[in-house]
């Protein structure tokens, strides 16, 4: 498998994993290689997962973004998942932080919707993938889910 060479192709590749191999996507547990994680560094070399050799591996959006990079991206206190994933996908950090939040997948409802959000963001040029521009390409329902505009306990009138 050839790894994507730019953030647009990585967004599309992560979308394909989420939609076509939903058992490999989990926005709640993040990277899961079956070994207890110490919270600082992934235990499996990312390039192995990106080449499809870790068939039972699950990862979140940020995890797959980093796994599909053609170069090693360190995950540590100075470069946490949000930063590494944002960089790999060419997202502004504010947008990435919201997109990587575990509840976003639940609010979107289906793997196909999560994948559609990523594909819509891929239509934005690199350097323009931030909050304000994302609102232009997402549906109203997707924007509410991703940006969590409304408190879940509040009723919203149509």
Q: Please write the tens of the pLDDT for every residue from 25-38.
A: 988 765 544 444 44
Name the nearest CA neighbour of 25 among 120, 99, 114. 114
Is residue 88 within 8 Å of residue 73, measured between CB atoms?
yes
Is residue 81 within 8 Å of residue 67, measured between CB atoms?
no
pTM (two decimals): 0.79
Report pLDDT digits (tens) over 10-59: 999 999 999 999 988 988 765 544 444 444 444 444 444 444 434 557 78
Name the nearest CA neighbour of 41 among 16, 72, 65, 11. 72
| pLDDT (0 to 100) of residue 49 | 44
In the chain, domain spans: 7-147
Report pLDDT digits (tens) over 118-150: 999 999 999 999 999 999 999 999 999 998 855
């Amino acid at each position: 498998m050839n790894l994507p060479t730019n953030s647009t192709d990585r967004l599309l590749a992560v979308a394909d994993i989420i939609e076509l191999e939903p058992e490999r996507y989990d926005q709640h547990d993040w990277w899961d290689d079956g070994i207890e994680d110490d919270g600082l560094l992934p235990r499996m070399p990312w390039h192995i997962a990106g080449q499809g050799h870790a068939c039972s591996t699950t990862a979140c959006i940020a995890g797959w973004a980093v796994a599909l990079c053609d170069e090693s991206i360190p995950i540590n206190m100075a470069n946490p998942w949000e930063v590494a994933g944002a960089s790999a996908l060419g997202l502004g950090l504010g947008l990435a932080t919201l997109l990587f939040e575990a509840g976003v997948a639940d609010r979107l409802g289906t793997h196909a919707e999560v994948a559609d959000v990523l594909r819509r963001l891929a239509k934005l040029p690199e350097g323009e993938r931030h909050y304000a521009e994302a609102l232009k390409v997402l549906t109203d329902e997707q924007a509410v889910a991703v940006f969590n505009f409304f408190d879940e306990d509040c009723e919203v009138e149509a």
